[in-house]
Structure formats: structure tokens, C-alpha cells
């Protein structure tokens, strides 16, 4: 995620930027679009847990605290990955590579957001949700960003666990405990993450290669990666349908999950066909799957939220 800011040259110190530029830079560090995706999987879990409309103040506090928690993790990621981001065309205009925010200031900002998120969760939601959010952030920063991303081709498979916590947090915010339905939602996001991320990595394979990040499309042939995308997609769709009996939903959820999952599988199969035909990088048209993956996740979780309102 990048936010447009006034360009700063090497001869123009960051302190010379206007306060609007500074605010934009700090907001960009939190990666708002990623936060949006995380909240899309938080709120629906609350509706599903409540079997209808949950306490709206509870929803508000959960989303505010979740925004701060996710923002904190993303800020730390930007600080730690500033050397990588500077080498990649897709990320070199982020605030850190452009020296709009100093690493120390970014670190302090991330700490403030994290502390605020934990306290808001603890005092206005519950401490179980606070612990889960803190655990997700610690995993994302310490395990994925600092270790897996730079050293393993399966980095996003295991590192993506951090992004699976929002449904658990939303569920525990309402119930105070963990059950089978949120674990299924957790697993849906877990299985969704590799196809979603590897599709993007296909598009920016050269970027990752230049930065020395061993994303799977960098170290493995396109057909083999595309096959893995299809396998994860099949498992994801199958798991998504198990929420129907586990949560006792009506017909809306399985209908949406089944239809949107079928489109996802068609895109995955077509990606594999193009890869086996010799297409690489942009010629694979991987962004078709990437963009649909965002829509798929939103549709499935929205259906999980609306279903208890109808049935």
C-alpha cells in the first residue's frame, strides 16, 4: 500500500515537509488497505458469533483496537523491511525508502499503536482478544518479518498465520472463548493466503528476486507454483463449506461460498493452464486471481455475517 505524498529529494530533509505530508507518511506506514482486509474478516465473525447483530459499541471498540493493532504490526514491518522495499519498484515509494520517516520514529510509532491497541482490547473488549491480537503481531513481526520472509520459500504459508487471527479475535470479542466456527474461519484465511500472495508474487517476481526475497515464484517454476495454488484453492473451498454444518448457517452462506469458490477454482485452473503453456510473470495474468481472491474473501465473510440476520 502506498499513499501519495509530496516527493522529497535527497537534498530536501524530511523535516521540511508540511504537516499534511508527515501525517500521510505515518498513515502510509500502517498500510490501510491491508487493515481493511483484516477488518473484513473480524466484523463478520462477530455477527456469526452473536447469531445476529452484536453489541455495536463492542463492534466499534473491536474494530478500532484491531485497526491500531494491525497498524502497529505493519509499521514494524515497514521499518524492518526498509532495505527490501528500497530495492522493489512496487514498494520503493513507501515512506521508509523515501526517508520521510526516520526508523527510530517509526519504531516509536509502532510501539504506541501496539500499546494503545492492547489496552483498548483489554479494557473495552476482553483480555483474551487482547492476547490474541498481541500474539498475532508478535508472530508477524518476529517470526515472519524477521525470519521467514528472508529465509524460506514457504515464508508466506507459515507467516500468513498472523493474518488468520482476526476471525478468532472477532469471535472471542463476543463470546469470550474460542469455538469450532472461528477455527474454520481461521483455516479459510490460512489456505487463502498462499494463492493470494503467490499470484501477486508472480506479477512482481523480478522485484522479489532483486531484493533477495525467496518467494516461491522466485525459486520454483511457474507450473509447479500454479499447481500449488490450485491445491490450496481446492482445500480452501472445501474447508469454507464445512462452516455450514459447524455454525448451523442457512442456505445463503453455502450458496455464496460455493459459487464464489467455483470462480476462484476456475481462475486457479486457468492460471495453471497458462503456466503449463509457457507463460511467465505478467503473461500469466496472475492479477486476475489476485483481485478475485480479495473479492472472494470479502464475499464469503460477508455471507457469514448476513446469514444469521436472515435465518
Summarised one tens digit per residue, pLDDT across range 27-80 is: 999 999 999 988 999 999 999 999 999 999 999 999 999 999 999 999 999 999
CA 300/CA 256 separation, integer angstroms: 6
Considering only CA atoms, give the Rg of the chain. Answer: 20
Other CB atoms within 10 Å distance of the CB of residue 47 = 22
Buried b / exposed e over 124-137, threshold 16 CB at 10 Å, is bbbebbbebbbebb
Distances (CA, A) of 149 to 80, 84, 159, 206, 310: 11, 11, 8, 16, 42
CA 189/CA 192 separation, integer angstroms: 5
Query: Given the C-alpha cell 455495536, which residue does it identify?
Result: 56
Distances (CA, A) of 208 to 63, 200, 250: 32, 11, 43
Question: Checking phi first, is residue 278 left (phi over 0); if not, alpha (psi -120 to 50) or beta?
Answer: left
Summarised one tens digit per residue, pLDDT across range 124-159 is: 999 999 999 999 999 999 999 999 999 999 999 999
Whether pLDDT at 10 is above 90: no
Query: Given the C-alpha cell 453489541, which residue does it identify?
Result: 55
CATH number for the domain formed by residue range(s) 179-311 = 1.20.120
Asked if 61 and 194 touch (Cβ cutoff 8 Å), the reply is no
Whether pLDDT at 234 is above 60: yes
Which residues have CB under 8 Å from 138's CB, separation 6+?
Answer: none
Whether pLDDT at 190 is above 90: yes
| DSSP line for 52-104 | SPPPHHHHHHHHHHHHHHHHHHHHHHHHHTHHHHHH-TTTTTSTTTTTSS-HH
What integer pLDDT is reported at residue 17 of this predicted model? 72
CATH number for the domain formed by residue range(s) 22-176 = 1.10.357.140
CA 259/CA 276 separation, integer angstroms: 26
Question: Domain extents for the chain?
Answer: 22-176, 179-311
pLDDT band at 16 (very low <50, low <70, confident <90, very high): low
**CA-based nearest residue to 251, from 241, 239, 261, 238:** 241
Which residue has better confidence, 17 or 201? 201
Rounded mean pLDDT, 239-254: 97
Q: Where are the alpha helices (DSSP H) in the chain?
A: 19-29, 32-40, 43-50, 56-80, 82-87, 103-124, 127-138, 149-151, 155-159, 165-175, 180-203, 205-211, 216-219, 222-247, 252-276, 286-310
Summarised one tens digit per residue, pLDDT across range 254-303 is: 999 999 999 999 999 999 999 999 998 888 999 999 999 999 999 999 99
Summarised one tens digit per residue, pLDDT across range 88-128 is: 999 999 999 999 999 999 999 999 999 999 999 999 999 99
Asked if 229 and 271 touch (Cβ cutoff 8 Å), the reply is yes
Amino acid at each position: 500500500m502506498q499513499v501519495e505524498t509530496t516527493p522529497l529529494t535527497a537534498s530536501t530533509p524530511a523535516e521540511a515537509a508540511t504537516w499534511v505530508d508527515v501525517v500521510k507518511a505515518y498513515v502510509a506506514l500502517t498500510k490501510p488497505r491491508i487493515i481493511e482486509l483484516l477488518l473484513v474478516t473480524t466484523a463478520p465473525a462477530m455477527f456469526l458469533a452473536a447469531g445476529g447483530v452484536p453489541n455495536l459499541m463492542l463492534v466499534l471498540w473491536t474494530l478500532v483496537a484491531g485497526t491500531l493493532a494491525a497498524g502497529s504490526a505493519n509499521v514494524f514491518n515497514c521499518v524492518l523491511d526498509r532495505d527490501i522495499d528500497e530495492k522493489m519498484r512496487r514498494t520503493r515509494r513507501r515512506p521508509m525508502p523515501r526517508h520521510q520517516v526516520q526508523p527510530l520514529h517509526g519504531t516509536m510509532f509502532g510501539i504506541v499503536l501496539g500499546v494503545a491497541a492492547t489496552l483498548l482490547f483489554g479494557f473495552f473488549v476482553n483480555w483474551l482478544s487482547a492476547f490474541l491480537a498481541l500474539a498475532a503481531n508478535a508472530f508477524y513481526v518476529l517470526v515472519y518479518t524477521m525470519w521467514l520472509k528472508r529465509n524460506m520459500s514457504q515464508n508466506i504459508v507459515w507467516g500468513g498465520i498472523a493474518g488468520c487471527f482476526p476471525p478468532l479475535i472477532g469471535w472471542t470479542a463476543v463470546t469470550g472463548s474460542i469455538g469450532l466456527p472461528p477455527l474454520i474461519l481461521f483455516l479459510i484465511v490460512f489456505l487463502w493466503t498462499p494463492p493470494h500472495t503467490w499470484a501477486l508474487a508472480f506479477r512482481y517476481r523480478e522485484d522479489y528476486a532483486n531484493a533477495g526475497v525467496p518467494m516461491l515464484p522466485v525459486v520454483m517454476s511457474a507450473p509447479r507454483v500454479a499447481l500449488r495454488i490450485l491445491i490450496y484453492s481446492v482445500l480452501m473451498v472445501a474447508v469454507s463449506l464445512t462452516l455450514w454444518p459447524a455454525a448451523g448457517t442457512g442456505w445463503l452462506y453455502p450458496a455464496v461460498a460455493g459459487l464464489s469458490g467455483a470462480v476462484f477454482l476456475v481462475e486457479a485452473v486457468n492460471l495453471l493452464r497458462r503456466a503449463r503453456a509457457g507463460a511467465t510473470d505478467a503473461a500469466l495474468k496472475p492479477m486476475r486471481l489476485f483481485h478475485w481472491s480479495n473479492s472472494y474473501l470479502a464475499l464469503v465473510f460477508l455471507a457469514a455475517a448476513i446469514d444469521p440476520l436472515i435465518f
